[in-house]
Structure 1
């Protein structure tokens, strides 16, 4: 059982965005609450500098889109609390990570921190409001919280946990009525099911059903006792004149549809029985495992994989390739961070150089230093950074160009990252399912052999 809540994080008055991100992520990563960071996982970001990476993505979003609003949301937090004694910290963290991944669809950086300092284990999941490509932001709405709750319940069920029973209110249930436009759509769908010859035949059937047709630049219709005409295109893309013609001709395609190649992981029934699950859960698990292994076999057939040895080889190669690609992304991100710090020191040096020259002319006066402590400290830090750099210093413009180029490299690497990640995930899950299926099959075979042997 898990109770969830989605919280939008805004910038606090009197604090910078970086300070707000740091204070909130620091609380989530508290070592006393997460057993010295043992129960912290992250996606597409470094746990140690997560607030800087979030801030870099936000700045890149502002730079590329030019959009910045007062009261803007800088990040989101998901709080996920579990029933005391129902989950272990490891399982709670795994559920939290899966919830964040499926809720954000892998498009946003996040950290998942599991707090174990209270009786009820709970997750603090903080994800960036800006997506990985730094060109869009997460769009929150009232329905997002409902969707999050349903997703969390679904994942809890998949992990064999209980879910919160919905609140049953007293009194009459609300009455829901179909809209006028939905009535029109239903009428069109009914006519399409009869396979009309062409669009004129469909319009003729609508007229027989009592609709008045208005022809002109935009084809429209009006229903029984209605005052205004409704254009076909206003019913939705699937009901525009072109879409209806294509449906009748059989050439209509749903854009954006992708074949679902994902499959579920097999449930370890014996382990769940040891955890105290009952007969009902065992019965459900067997049906679930049958469906999961069939999906796995279909996936292997599509990939042309005919043996476990071939599957293992492909899974190992995919894992190594994915790790190598991840290392490349981290190298680029590290370079961006390094150049960003150098750019900051160059800006500080240009702002404080004149004051530092006056400080030298004053023969390093203590009084002058106390009056300009911050500027002098920044200038000294910049000089130390220049000495560590050990090369000819680039201009700020050159640094901006190089950082922009690296950001483009990072974007292209992340596009390929998603493909490699999904491919590797599918192969690893298929390998795990096949291994588990072979183990279950071997156990069942051993039991049959034991039963067939005569008792002594």
Structure 2
């Protein structure tokens, strides 16, 4: 670490430096001190894995000064580490372009955790850096060139060629990656899953679940949840050499944070909010408009009419799916009620047959009044639900209920995706409409003047 840090602090290159929870001159020792305290408090190996991480952030020639670039780097590091890890930022001016070297400890300052370099972290970091630059009215890479060896793509290009990964897909990808590293045993496999950023949870009876960063609910480690070939038995077979190792596919980035609606600051001020709230709301709105701009670039929405048409289509799709779900749930409820009525009818039919054999005796009626009431209710329910149609067999009803339940589950997956798309587009369009309104107001003032 000291060799790396000395390079960053080289006075011939250094234009500005800033730090958080450490002194750059002694950062290597301070980082190790925290690691030793972490090892003493948790009995875990502090030196296992990466000791620290480095972020390099560059700016076009002449766009920022060394001090401005250093402030951008400091904000990027603070938002990336969430203030939980020591870091320092070295801004170099020895090249034609100003660039930052950001070094941060892999062990949290409060010794509560270690930083886990999760799948897709480079894409998430690039997204954060672009967001910070947009918020400070700086440029970001829009049409990048390929790496000299043709291996790396800019995040915008990459996102256009790949779909977002669900939690299940991220876990399966991590499993494939861990297995390609040939773990020695099942415990080693689980350690590799944790190294990849997947939290391993153990429940009652030894049940294992995986939790992806950013998700609230863990997914059970079993084939019925993750898919064929991704259960504990399948993984053990690969480790034992009884099954071939699967090839891990290209890693993908986590889903971006949803864009939110802007705050009506003037309305909130009329409601009694103070100057501090006004300052916070202005910064919040600026960040949301930067997020909206990033969304428009990534989705190639450069015409307002295209944005409006896509927003209307997303809204229509959302309402259509909501109606489909409502109809499916109604039909599922009807089939379930019909099955319950058929079961009740079959259970109480012998009581009615006995009542009929007793020639509708009052004594029999008094003895079996509750059963006969259930019989009449079940018969009336069946007649109402069937509507004159012939009663299907129970096996047919069970199969229909199973199909409707599967259809409902699939519709809800589409519904949640459509809801997210609609909310994002409505928020982005709202930001664009807000900016158009400001422009129109300025144009009207100039015309009146």
Normalising by structure 1, what TM-score? 0.45
